[in-house]
């Protein structure tokens, strides 16, 4: 595993430990270009990890430090996401499938980070989850269901349809920041129902309700 430290980091505010993992795509033409930007002091952006299409994994910032990857946003009531998270950048322009070697490497890295910091699967999120008004990464081509099957993220177990009027409250209990309904729905579907259009459906509401029940801020603790 190569290491190429970025100068773009600082201490985690308040001395907090990372409790989130945020997944991004680079939206650049190559891994080399992304690496150069993430390590450029003038750019003032970085991430803890960068994974190339071919599966090479590079450490850019020590996980104990605060990388500058998330920006403005919130998740599960946490507003300084940079201080509370570890950021992973995937070499991908944003409109293409994620390469198999890259996904394999991501799964290995996620398992290591989650074990190292005791981060549960529901705290592995996308940039678009915590910043829905600004970001769309890792985008509709990212395979969240695959990560969930490996216990590296979560997926709803929707049953019967629910009241569409309850969707926004359930989505926010799961972790999404309180935003207008249209914004919440777009962010939720980008991750859990790519390609879905139109107003909130009973299926959207059921999926959000299931996630809120199992993983929301007021959900009961998981059995030991």
Report the SS3 class of residue 152.
coil
Q: How far is CA 21 from the centre of its chain?
A: 6
- CATH no. of 2-149: 3.40.80.10
pLDDT for the residue numbered 7: 95
- Whether the CA torsion 204, 135, 14, 47 is positive or negative: it is positive
Query: According to DSSP H, which parts of the chain are helical?
Result: 31-38, 81-84, 100-117, 127-130, 144-149, 167-174, 181-192, 202-215
- Whether the CA torsion 102, 103, 106, 112 is positive or negative: it is negative
Q: Which two tokens stand for residue 155?
A: 């997926």
Rounded CA separation 18/58 (Å): 19
| CB count in 10 Å sphere of residue 79 | 12
pLDDT for the residue numbered 223: 39
Q: Which two tokens stand for residue 57?
A: 């994994």
Q: Which of 76, 80, 87, 85 is nearest to 49 (CA)?
A: 87
Q: Which two tokens stand for residue 139?
A: 């985008």
Question: How far is the CA of 166 from the CAs of 58, 60, 128, 169, 213, in angstroms?
Answer: 42, 41, 22, 6, 13
- Residue 78 is given by DSSP the state B
Q: Which of 24, 157, 15, 151 is nearest to 90 (CA)?
A: 24
Task: Please state the domain extents for the chain.
Answer: 2-149, 164-215
Catalytic residue among 58, 89, 112, 157: 89
Whether 89 sits among the annotated catalytic residues: the reply is yes
pLDDT digit string (tens) for the chain, length 224 residues: 556 699 999 999 999 999 999 999 999 999 999 999 999 999 999 999 999 999 999 999 999 999 999 999 999 999 999 999 999 999 999 999 999 999 999 999 999 999 999 999 999 999 999 999 999 999 999 999 999 999 999 999 977 789 999 999 999 999 999 999 999 999 999 999 999 999 999 999 999 999 999 999 765 444 33
Rounded CA separation 50/13 (Å): 23
Pairing of strands 57-59, 49-51: antiparallel
pLDDT for the residue numbered 224: 35
pLDDT for the residue numbered 1: 53
Rounded CA separation 10/114 (Å): 22
Q: Can you tell me which residue has the tokens 């322009």? A: 93
Report the SS3 class of residue 206.
helix
Question: How far is the CA of 16 from the CAs of 12, 20, 63, 87, 101, in angstroms?
Answer: 6, 11, 12, 15, 33
Pairing of strands 66-67, 124-126: unpaired
């Amino acid at each position: 595993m190569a290491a190429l430290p970025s100068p773009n980091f600082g201490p985690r505010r308040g001395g907090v430990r990372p409790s989130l993992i945020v997944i991004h795509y680079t939206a650049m033409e190559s891994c080399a270009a992304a690496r150069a930007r993430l390590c450029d002091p003038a750019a003032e952006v970085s991430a803890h990890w960068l994974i190339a299409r071919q599966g090479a994994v590079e450490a850019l910032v020590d996980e104990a430090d605060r990388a500058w990857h998330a920006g403005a946003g919130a998740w599960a009531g946490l507003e300084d996401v940079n201080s509370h998270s570890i950021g992973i950048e995937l070499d991908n322009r944003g409109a293409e499938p994620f390469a198999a070697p890259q996904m394999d490497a991501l799964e290995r890295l996620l398992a290591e980070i989650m074990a190292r910091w005791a981060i549960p699967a529901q705290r592995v999120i996308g940039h678009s989850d915590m910043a829905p008004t600004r970001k769309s990464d890792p985008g509709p081509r990212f395979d969240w269901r695959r990560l969930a099957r490996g216990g590296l993220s979560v997926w709803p177990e929707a049953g019967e349809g629910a009241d569409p009027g309850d969707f926004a409250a359930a989505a926010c209990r799961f972790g999404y920041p309180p935003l207008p309904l249209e914004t919440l729905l777009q962010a939720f579907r980008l991750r859990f129902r790519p390609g879905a259009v139109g107003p909130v459906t009973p299926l959207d509401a059921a999926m959000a309700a299931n996630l809120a029940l199992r993983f929301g801020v007021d959900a009961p603790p998981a059995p030991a």
